Amino acid sequence: MGTVTTGDGTTLFYKDWGPRDGQPIVFHHGWPLSADDWDNQMLFFLAHGYRVIAHDRRGHGRSTQTSGGHDMDTYSDDVIALAAALDLRDAVHIGHSTGGGEVTRYVARAEPGRVAKAVLVGAVPPLMLKTDANPGGLPMEVFDGFRAGVAGNRSQFYIDVPSGPFYGFNRPGAQVSQGLIDNWWRQGMMGAANAHYECVKAFSETDFTEDLRQIEVPVLVAHGTDDQVVPYEDSAPLTVQLLKNGTLKSYEGLPHGMLTTRPEVLNPDILAFVRS
């Protein structure tokens, strides 16, 4: 397995498949998952000749279960360390949910030449939390519920989330996949409870407004209109308004985890954007 050690001694696990001279595509997973959540996309882009890379965020998956650093600045620093260690240039960074926040902060701070494009899928920017400046956001009680679930019975909570809103399996007529639920639980339970608990603040309270304004490269913003985790109206359309070179792609009726439930729809669209 591949690992990178960051400046504070954290060991990050990563996968790195494909030709070293191929354009790198770097995948950033959502909360509380791991690089394994991108298996479908990694195989898809690998088959199209790309070099595909995905890491486990600190405290998640197979990376070090650190006592601190569970904030977007440190997550971004970790990606900077990964990109430097692998000498990634002209890379496309694709982030889902919390990973979309990580991509946003990283791309805004990346060295020139490191990033060619970015893709945000069901991503948390600009800001999830309801504030006076963001009246359409979600109230703090929602995120307190996430923290209570992690601190109370994390194992059951990690069954309930994918069984319901994450994949839209709570909608009438939904085709429920027990395998997806079990894999979500497996990935979540690999990580550290403290990292998952503190990451709730990172994904819900971080304001990415200025990051989005600073990004120069083309960005595809893809979001399902039936996203029950990161509601569409307070995320994707607002994100595109802040970007200098953003494209909004809306998916009618698709859920937060649409990359997993409908990869046959999402993957070709992302490939077209990468090639454009």
Q: Which residues are catalytic?
A: 97, 227, 256
Q: Which residues pair with 88 in a beta bridge?
A: none
Q: What single string gives the DSSP state of each residue in the chain?
A: -EEEE-TTSPEEEEEEES-TTSPEEEEE--TT--GGGGHHHHHHHHHTT-EEEEEPPTTSTTS---SS--SHHHHHHHHHHHHHHTT--SEEEEEETHHHHHHHHHHHHPPTTSEEEEEEES---S--B--SS-TTSB-HHHHHHHHHHHHHHHHHHHHHHHHTTTTTTTSTT----HHHHHHHHHHHHHS-HHHHHHHHHHHHH---HHHHHH--S-EEEEEETT-SSS-GGGSHHHHHHH-SSEEEEEETT--TTHHHH-HHHHHHHHHHHHH-
Q: Which two tokens stand for residue 212?
A: 């989005």
By C-alpha distance, which of 194, 195, 236 is closest to 219? 236
